[in-house]
Structure 1
C-alpha cells in the first residue's frame, strides 16, 4: 500500500508534463526558449521569401531553372539546421533546464515498508527533452518538406533532358532548324550511296554527284517509299552536346534582346514579374517545340502568355508527388510523438467509408480519369468524336469532368469523366492522323469519263503542291515533299506516314439522273486540314473544268429541245487537248482491273 502511494506520488508529478502546452507553461526558461524558437521560425520564413524573390529576378533563374529551384528548396533546410544548432548552443551555454532535467536513463529508487528497494524508470518527460523534441520535429518537417519538393525537381529535370534529346533527333531529321544557319553540316557530312537509288537514273545520279547543288538535291531526295538516300558521317566528337551549347547560345541571345529593349515590344523587359515577360529556357524550348521549332521572337508575345496558355492543363504526377511525400512525413512525426496510428487509422478509415459512399460518383470519375491517363485513350489537344455525334478537341481532362471544345469554338461539351471510359470514341489524332479530304462532283453525260478522270487527277496533283497553310507547309501528306524538287527543305508533309498511299484518288461513283458522278480525294495531315483543302480543291476544279469545257449539268429535270449533235461537236473540238491530259497524267487506277471495291 505504501509502495503504491509512493509510486503514485512520483507518477503524479509527471502528469502535468503530459501536455506540451502545460509543460511550456510550467517553465519560464522553456517559455523564453520557445519564444526564441518562434522568432527564429518567422525569421527563416522572411529570409526564405526574400531569398526566393531575389533568385526569381536573376538571370541564373532563367538560364538554369532546375538548378535554381533546387537551390531555393535546399536553402530552407539549411536555415532550419542553423536554427536548431543555434537553439541547442543557446540551451547548453546558458544551462536553462539544469534544475529540471531528469534523464531517461536516470533510475528512481524507492523503499517500501518492508525495507526492500524498488527500482523504477518512468521515462519522465522533462522540459529539456520536450523542447529538444519540438526542435527535432521542426527540423524533420522542414527537411521532409524540402525532400518532397527536391524529388519532383529531379524527375522534371530528367523529363526535360529526355525531351531535349528528342528535340535533337528532330533537329537531325529536319537537318537543322531555321535559325541554325548551316550548323547541321558542321556536325554531319552527307555520304552518297554507292549504288544508284530507286526512282533516279544512273546518268542523273552521276551528274548530280559532280556539283554542289546536285549533291544537295540528292541529300534531300526521297524515294517513292519516302526513304532518304545515303548516310551521314559524324564530324564532331559529341554532336548532342555541341547542339545543346548552340541552343543555349540562341537562348542567351533571346534573353539579351529581351533585356536590352532590342525586341518586338520596343521596351526593356523585366525578369521575375508575376506575369512573365521573358520565357525561362525550359518554357522557351517548349514553345519552340509547339511551333514546329521556329525561332521565338523576343517580345513577340504579351506578358503572361505562357502561364495563361498552361493554366487549364491538369497537374502531372510530379506536381502531386510532394503532397504524398510530405503527408508520409507528417504521419511519421505523429507516430514519433506517441499517437496510436491504429486508432488514427480506424478513425480515418470509418470517415473514409462514409465519405466514399457520399462521393461514390466522384470516386468513379477519379478512377476513370486514372484509366484514361494510364491507357492514353486521348489527351488534351486531340480531336475526338463521341458516340453521341459530338466532334471536338479535348480541352481539359479533370478527375471530375472532361471539357471538349467544338472545332469552330462555338460550344463546350462538359461530360462526366466516368462516362468516357465506356463510350465509343473515335480519336482522329492517335498515331495515324491522316484524314481524307473528299470532293464529289457530277459532270455532263456528253463528256468522256476518261477525260474527266484525267482532269481530276490533274486537279489532285495541283492541290498536292499548291495547298499550303499560313507557314507554307503542305496540307496534303505525300511521299515526297514538292519543295525537295527545288533543293529546299521538306515542310514535313512527307514525315510520319505509316501506311502506303497512292494519290490523288479518283473514283467514278455512279450514273446519276442528270450527271456522271465522280469523287476525288486526298489525304491531309490532320482532321482540321480537310476543310481548307476541300475548298481549295473545288476552286482548282472549277478552273480546270472551265479550261477544258467539262460541264456540270443543272440539277433539274427539263424537256430537252437542244441540238445534241451540235453540242457534241462543240465538245469534240477539245478532244485533242483532253487526250493530252490523259497521256500526261493518266487516269489513276480507275482503268485497272482490281477487286478493291
Structure 2
C-alpha cells in the first residue's frame, strides 16, 4: 500500500512537468518567448565569457584581484536580471498569452503565469549562483587581510624588509632605550653605547640570553600599517611594470592574462615573498605557470568547496518551490542511494578521515612523519582519498588510504616541539684524561653551534641566543619558538669499553633532516680538534697489547697544559655536577 502511494505521488510530480511541456508545445507565443529566452541566455554566456577574459588582461586584475573577481561574478546576474526583466515587461505590454489559456493542475493556470515562473526560476538560480561565489570572495579577502597583517608584524620584528627603498621602519618608529641596564651588560658599557649613534644601534639590535629585545618603540606616524601597505603596493607596481615593459630577468615583455600565467597577482606575489623569507621577488625569474604548478597539489580549501554547497541548497529550494515533495523524491530514490552508499563506503571513510586529520591537525603537508609500517618521510599531499608520503631522499612515495592513518600509530617529528637531537658517539684512548676530553668535546659543540649552517646561512642547531646577534645582525631564527630549557652542548661519558673510553656529544637541531648535516660537520670539527690536542681514537684491539704505555703517556702529557686551558675556558659541561639527565 505504501509503495502504491509513493508511486502515485511520484507519477503526479512527473505529470506536472509533462503538463508544462504540453503547454510550451501548444502555444506559439510562449514558444517564441522561450526561444528568445534560450538565445538570450546563450548570448549572456558569450558576453560573460568575453568580459571575464577581458578583465583577466587588465592591470586591476593583478593589483586588485578580489575586486576583479567581484566584478566578474556580479556581471552575470546583471545581464541575466536585465534579460528576465525585459522579457517580463514585453510580455505584460503586448499581452502575448491572453488569447489562449490552458488550465494546469497546479496553482498557475495561464501560460503567462507559467512562463513567469520559469523566468523567476532562472532569476533565483542566477542570484543563488552569484551569492554562492560572492561569499567565498569575502572569506578569501578576509583571509588575505589577516595574512597581510601577519606580514606587517613580521616586518616590524625584522625592522624592515630587504627591498624597502627607504628606511621605512625608522620613518614609522623611533627606538626608545630602556631606563635600566639590561641583562648581560655592564652599566659602563650601557652608558657608553647610549652616547653614540652606533652604540644606540647596537643596543637596538641587542638581545638578552633569553632572546628578548631591550627598549621599546615610539610610533612616529598616525597609522604605520597603512604606510607599510602603501610601500608594499609601490613595490608590486614596480614588479608589474618591470614584467610588462620587459625590464626583467627574462628580457621579454610578459603579457597579462596568459595561460600559463606569466605575472603574479599581488596575493601570489605576497605569498611567494612569505615563502622565501621576505626576500625581494625579481620579475621574470620563474617560468610561466610556476606558481600554479607549485600549488596544484594543495588540497581545496573550505571557501573553494562552499559555492557547491550553497548552490546545491538553492537548487533543492527551487525544486521544492515547483511542488516536488522532497521526502517522496528521497524515498523513491532511496534504493539507488543505498546502492551508491555501499559502493562509496570506503570513499566516505577516507573523506571523513581526511576531515578529522585536518580538523585535529594530526599532521600537515611538509611535516616529517614515521608510519607504523616503518616508512619515514615527508607528508607530500593529503587528499580525501589517499595520502602521499615522500621519502626523504626522493627515492619513493608511500601511497596510503587516508582512512588507515586515523587509527595508525604515527610519529610526527615536526609537530610543535621542533627539536631533534643530533648525537655523535666517539671512543678515545685510555691514556687520555677524560676531563680533558670532555672539555674538548664541549668546545667542539660550541664551535658547531656557530659554524654549522645551511645554504641560506641559518644555524641548524637550536640555541638560547642566536650567535648573529653578537655581531649586531638579525637572528636567523635558531633561537625562536623554544618552549623548554636547553643547555647545549651536552657531553656524556657513556662507558669503559674494551679498548676505549666511550663519549657522546649531544646538540639539538631545528628539524629531523638537519641532524644529518650537523653530525657530519661535528665529526669534521672533532677530527680537527682531536688532532690539535692529540686526543687519540684507538684501534679496536683484541690481541695482547705490547706497546710502551710509559712512552705513549709521556707523548700525550706534552700537551697537558694546552688541554687544561680548554678545561678552564669551556669547562666540562655538566659532567662534574652530578644529577640526572
* Number of residue equivalences: 566
Please tell me whether residue 159 in structure 1 is matched to residue 143 in structure 2.
yes
- List aligned pairs for 1:167-186, cutoff 5 A: 167-180=151-164, 181-186=166-171
Q: 2:549 maps to what in 1?
A: 564
TM-fit CA distance, 1:523: 1.3
Whether the 8 Å contact between 1:208 and 1:218 is mirrored in structure 2 is yes
The secondary structure found in structure 2 opposite 1:314 is coil
Whether the 8 Å contact between 1:384 and 1:425 is mirrored in structure 2 is yes
TM-fit CA distance, 1:24: 1.2
Whether the 8 Å contact between 2:211 and 2:464 is mirrored in structure 1 is yes
TM-fit CA distance, 1:555: 2.5
TM-fit CA distance, 1:102: 8.0
Moved more, 19-28 or 308-317: 19-28
TM-fit CA distance, 1:561: 2.2
- List aligned pairs for 1:47-66, cutoff 5 A: 47-66=47-66
Aligned with residue 451 of structure 2, among 466, 474, 481? 466
Q: 1:388 maps to what in 2?
A: 373
CA distance in structure 1 between the aligned counterparts of 2:106 and 2:153, rounded to whole angstroms:
68
- List aligned pairs for 1:164-313, cutoff 5 A: 164-180=148-164, 181-313=166-298
Please tell me whether residue 482 in structure 1 is matched to residue 467 in structure 2.
yes
TM-fit CA distance, 1:124: 4.9
Whether the 8 Å contact between 1:475 and 1:533 is mirrored in structure 2 is yes
Deviations 1:189-233 (A, max 9, x none): 111111111111111111111122222222222222221111111
Q: 2:117 maps to what in 1?
A: 133
Q: CA RMSD in A?
A: 1.8
Q: 1:435 maps to what in 2?
A: 420
The secondary structure found in structure 1 opposite 2:574 is coil
Whether the 8 Å contact between 2:23 and 2:102 is mirrored in structure 1 is no
Please tell me whether residue 70 in structure 1 is matched to residue 63 in structure 2.
no
Q: 2:45 maps to what in 1?
A: 45
CA distance in structure 2 between the aligned counterparts of 1:151 and 1:122, rounded to whole angstroms:
35
The secondary structure found in structure 1 opposite 2:573 is coil
CA distance in structure 2 between the aligned counterparts of 1:221 and 1:183, rounded to whole angstroms:
20
CA distance in structure 1 between the aligned counterparts of 2:455 and 2:128, rounded to whole angstroms:
51
CA distance in structure 2 between the aligned counterparts of 1:349 and 1:225, rounded to whole angstroms:
65
TM-fit CA distance, 1:325: 0.5
Whether the 8 Å contact between 2:458 and 2:477 is mirrored in structure 1 is yes
Moved over 3 A (4+): 15-18, 101-104, 121-124
Q: 2:341 maps to what in 1?
A: 356
- List aligned pairs for 1:311-350, cutoff 5 A: 311-350=296-335
TM-fit CA distance, 1:436: 1.3
Unaligned stretches of 5+ residues in structure 2: 1-14
Query: Rg larger in 1 or in 2?
Result: 1
Q: 2:11 maps to what in 1?
A: none
Whether the 8 Å contact between 2:16 and 2:106 is mirrored in structure 1 is no
CA distance in structure 2 between the aligned counterparts of 1:300 and 1:29, rounded to whole angstroms:
61
TM-fit CA distance, 1:349: 3.8
Whether the 8 Å contact between 2:101 and 2:109 is mirrored in structure 1 is no
Q: 2:489 maps to what in 1?
A: 504
Whether the 8 Å contact between 1:18 and 1:125 is mirrored in structure 2 is no
CA distance in structure 2 between the aligned counterparts of 1:306 and 1:122, rounded to whole angstroms:
54
Deviations 1:379-405 (A, max 9, x none): 111111112221111111111211111
Please tell me whether residue 368 in structure 1 is matched to residue 353 in structure 2.
yes
CA distance in structure 2 between the aligned counterparts of 1:385 and 1:124, rounded to whole angstroms:
66
Tell me the TM-score normalized by structure 1: 0.92
The secondary structure found in structure 2 opposite 1:433 is coil
TM-fit CA distance, 1:294: 1.4
Report the CA distance shift for 1:124/1:277 in structure 2 as closer, same or farther (over 3 A).
closer
Whether the 8 Å contact between 1:17 and 1:126 is mirrored in structure 2 is no
Report the CA distance shift for 1:16/1:478 in structure 2 as closer, same or farther (over 3 A).
closer
Deviations 1:225-253 (A, max 9, x none): 22111111111111112111111111111
Tell me the TM-score normalized by structure 2: 0.94
Report the CA distance shift for 1:556/1:306 in structure 2 as closer, same or farther (over 3 A).
farther
Whether the 8 Å contact between 2:420 and 2:509 is mirrored in structure 1 is yes
Whether the 8 Å contact between 1:393 and 1:406 is mirrored in structure 2 is yes
TM-fit CA distance, 1:98: 2.2
Q: 1:113 maps to what in 2?
A: none
CA distance in structure 2 between the aligned counterparts of 1:60 and 1:542, rounded to whole angstroms:
60
The secondary structure found in structure 2 opposite 1:553 is coil
CA distance in structure 1 between the aligned counterparts of 2:416 and 2:163, rounded to whole angstroms:
29
Unaligned stretches of 5+ residues in structure 1: 1-14, 105-120
CA distance in structure 2 between the aligned counterparts of 1:457 and 1:581, rounded to whole angstroms:
9
Q: 2:93 maps to what in 1?
A: 93
